Amino acid sequence: MTATTLLETQSAVLGSRRFRVLSMAVTVAILWIVAQTMYTDGRSNAALDGIRYTRTINLHQSSNSHPSSPSQPSAARCSDPFSKLGTLHVDTETKHENNWVPFDKHCQPPRLMAALTAAVSGEDTSGHLDIDFVRNRTILVMGDSIARETVKYFCSFLGQQTMNLDDDHVWSPLRRRTDAQEDEEQEDSAQHLHQHHSRAPRESSLPNVCYIPTLDLMLIQSFHFGMDTDNFFAEKEQYNPPNNYEDRLVVHGRNLLDLISDTDSTHPPSAFEDAVPRPSSEPDLVEVSSSLWDLARFARIDIEQDMSTLTDLSPSRLSYYMDRMTDMLHATSAIFPSSQIVWRTSHYPADHRVDEQQHHLNWLSRDMSTRELELEHQRQLLYHNKPYFHSNRLFQLDQAARFVVESEQFDDIRLNEWGRLMFGQHAHQIDQLHPSMLPGGWLWGDTMLYELRKAVTGEV
């Protein structure tokens, strides 16, 4: 081997070694960079998780805070705090601590129920929001027994009681009166004040009125039997005509408001002397809801046909629900064209299981005769595990209702999220169906007042 060849071989060997050393150095550098990146990301994620956790555990504290003006969000960001993701704070001992608390601490709902109760009770209102928007207002609530109870709770929170407009009441839209009878019917309004436990079946589906005299605030709750158009529940003792929602809206809504506003023919009970005449025969807010009677109708049909009530609602049933809801909202808009209309979402009552067999049909059969009750009980034994209000069906109706409200034809109709916010609150019900005063009654008051304030002032 020549000297030249030897030198070339040594150079090649040295070059190969340099390449290997360089490659190893590059590899080590890459591994070091990757390790540093993973370490940094891990610390960042841990810090972020800490922020999230701190923000979560301080939710209730943040809801009580009042951020300075610079930190207030834009109207677009916080157009409706009750539609924001959050959690329901429940306190069965302190009423004003029952609040919806969004995760976004800069988008908290106004404490309107707290402000209203303070104003009515004569407390110092310096630390509360202005509630002048409720003065001289009229609210019509078209719904079922859930609506009836929430209105009753609202009235009770403000130190008043609802008055049931039975057939003999001077304001009853179903009553036939003569002039002589009207002169004799200046009776004590206490005779018409009813508690939940003393309500007769027929009275439970007649209108109720809540009046707050210090504010001239009137709530009228009118009952309807869902979207049915076939007199499906006509055999029930609590049933009273007319059947269809549209007709009940006229008789128990429009006609009743006209009667109350007619100073020539109305002799109000002593408790309501300041309520007449109303500032307007048009309500400032109309809240509409329908779900439980509709599900009960579907369930009873399924039970009679020995079918499950746990299955999803068929497309035809959902179409029927959406078509009827569309008709109802159009009718409400036509009868009350100047009123703000709100659709209230349904809450989720507890599922009814086999071991609660007496509860399966109790809601619909509680006013039946003994023989009818026996027959219903036999049906309960025959058809096991067939609840009326299963969560999957409630969810389907909720989605269908949202689809209708969000359509272009109803861009002026708003959604009250009360039902969604009450999801999972089975422990706070007075029975298998009705939410209790806390948190349900207080929360409904907050959501309803929020919609009223927005309708009256435009404030979010």
Phi, psi of 212 (to 5 degrees): -110, 100
Position 259, amino acid: L
Q: Give the separation between CA 270 and CA 186, rounded to whole angstroms.
A: 8
Q: Give the separation between CA 283 and CA 338, rounded to whole angstroms.
A: 8
Q: Give the separation between CA 248 and CA 376, rounded to whole angstroms.
A: 28
Q: Which helix (H) or strand (E) holds 201?
A: none
Q: Give the separation between CA 386 and CA 202, rounded to whole angstroms.
A: 27
CB 390 within 8 A of CB 310: yes
Q: How many CB atoms lie within 10 A of CB 52?
A: 11
Q: Give the separation between CA 259 and CA 271, rounded to whole angstroms.
A: 17
Instruction: Say what the pTM is.
Output: 0.77
Chain position carrying tokens 């007319």: 242
Q: Give the separation between CA 388 and CA 295, rounded to whole angstroms.
A: 6
Q: Give the separation between CA 360 and CA 324, rounded to whole angstroms.
A: 26
Q: How many CB atoms lie within 10 A of CB 65?
A: 12
Phi, psi of 44 (to 5 degrees): -65, -45
Q: Would you give per-residue pLDDT tens digits along the chain (460 residues)?
A: 554 444 454 454 445 556 565 666 656 666 666 556 554 554 444 443 333 333 333 444 434 433 333 344 455 679 899 999 999 999 999 999 999 999 999 999 999 999 999 999 999 989 999 999 999 999 999 999 999 999 999 999 999 999 999 888 888 867 744 444 444 434 433 343 433 334 447 788 999 999 999 999 999 999 999 999 999 999 988 899 999 999 999 999 999 999 888 766 556 777 777 888 888 889 999 999 999 999 999 999 999 998 999 999 999 999 999 999 999 999 999 999 999 999 999 999 975 443 344 444 455 544 455 666 676 666 655 556 788 999 999 999 999 999 999 999 999 999 999 999 999 999 999 998 999 999 999 999 999 999 999 999 999 8
Q: Identify whether 277 is preceded by a cis peptide bond (ω within 30 of 0).
A: yes
Residue 400 Ramachandran class (φ > 0 left, ψ -120 to 50 alpha, else beta): alpha
Instruction: Give all domains of the chain, ordered by start, each with its CATH number.
Output: 114-351+387-457 (3.40.50.1110)
Q: Give the separation between CA 323 and CA 216, rounded to whole angstroms.
A: 37
Beta-sheet pairing, 138-143 with 217-223: parallel
**Model confidence pLDDT, tens digit, residues 399-447:** 999 999 999 999 999 999 999 999 999 999 999 899 999 999 999 999 9
Residue 283 Ramachandran class (φ > 0 left, ψ -120 to 50 alpha, else beta): beta
